[in-house]
Amino acid sequence: MALIPYKEKTQTRRFASRMQHPIKVLTSPKALKFLLSKHSGRSHGKVTVRHQGGRQKRFYRYIDFKREKFGVEGSVVVLEYDPNRNVDIALINYMDGDKRYILAPKGLRIGDKIISNEKVDIKLGNALKLKNVPIGTLLHNVELTPGKGGQIGRSAGVGLTLQAKESGFAHLKMPSGEIRMVPLESMATVGSLGNEEWKNINFGKAGRIRHMGIRPKVRGVAMDPDSHPHGGGEGRSGVGRKSPMTKYGRKAVGHTRKKNKWTSKFILKRRK
């Protein structure tokens, strides 16, 4: 989808832009969506995630990340905008009457046929196991654990490249440059995802961000010492410490997290 600048030349629309999305469908299956409740970043009344609250009402769509409908061909009925992700979704009508949503890869059109199985043709939108995918194929919605559903390669413009197969694992190259080992029994979908221009959107005004549920952020140096490690000082002051810190006193730059995770052995090459 293309990035469209607004034609209005008012103060708030002058540089704003939006993505060209499919037409909103009012007849989408009610069984595949529910009204997403608002929590505003709170758990039992306590703020656990800051800068959230006051967003527009939205429906969550159930997405078939597992692609477990083996051997049943389906056709693309409609392409839809999903407010919960930066990728458009496709409504699939299967031969047995079942309907499901999937992530819409770049180039998928209404009327296209798709299928998922252990081994199928290498065609846009088809899902199969990594052991049957040719080297060099672009993939998305890849499982890290067989049967759990796709966990990587699910955002706008992403395409994972299958580079090699060795000792029961596939070597996948991420857009960041990282190379990760994934079991050959994992499912993956052929093609890369669209909406790659999403990262270039200019929202234009603060109110548009507020409708998404994102509240303003206050700099730590603008706070008092009791509210943030960066706070206090006479006049304007910098961080004033050995290293920048989060609101809770954890280091914000450098080696901030534990590196010896059990998944580290599956990373052949770090993104840096």
Contacts of 263 (CB under 8 A, 6+ apart): none
Question: What are the boundaries of each domain within the chain?
Answer: 3-199, 221-264
**pLDDT bucket at 77, cuts 50 / 70 / 90:** very high
Burial track 222-239 (b if 16+ CB lie within 10 A, e otherwise): eeeeeebbbbeeeeeeee
- Token readout for 73 is 């061909």
Tell me the pTM: 0.89
Return all residues near 166 (Cβ < 8 A) that are at least 6 apart: none
- Quick: pLDDT tens for 208-222: 999 999 999 999 999
Phi-psi region of 61 (alpha: psi -120 to 50; beta: other; left: phi over 0): beta
Average pLDDT over residues 234-252: 86
Q: What is the pLDDT of residue 26?
A: 66
| Least confidently predicted of 10-24, 79-93, 101-115, 184-198 | 10-24
Closest CA to 12 of 257, 202, 226, 180: 202
CATH of 221-264, one of 3.90.190.20, 3.60.21.70, 3.60.15.10, 4.10.950.10: 4.10.950.10
Q: In the 8-state DSSP scheme, what is residue 76?
A: E
Amino acid, single-letter form, for residue 142: V
Bridge-based pairing state of the strands 33-35 and 42-43: unpaired
Residues paired with 143 in a beta bridge = 150
pLDDT at 147 over 70: yes
**CA nearest to 126, candidates 160, 75, 88, 78:** 75
Residue 254: the pLDDT is 83
Per-residue pLDDT tens for 153-205?
Answer: 999 999 999 999 999 999 999 999 999 999 999 999 999 999 999 999 999 99
Using CA atoms of 168, 170, 171, 172 in order, give the dihedral in degrees to the nearest 10: -150
CA–CA dist 38, 222 (Å, integer): 29
Q: Residue holding tokens 């088809």?
A: 126
Q: Which fold has domain 3-199?
A: OB fold (Dihydrolipoamide Acetyltransferase, E2P) (2.40.50)
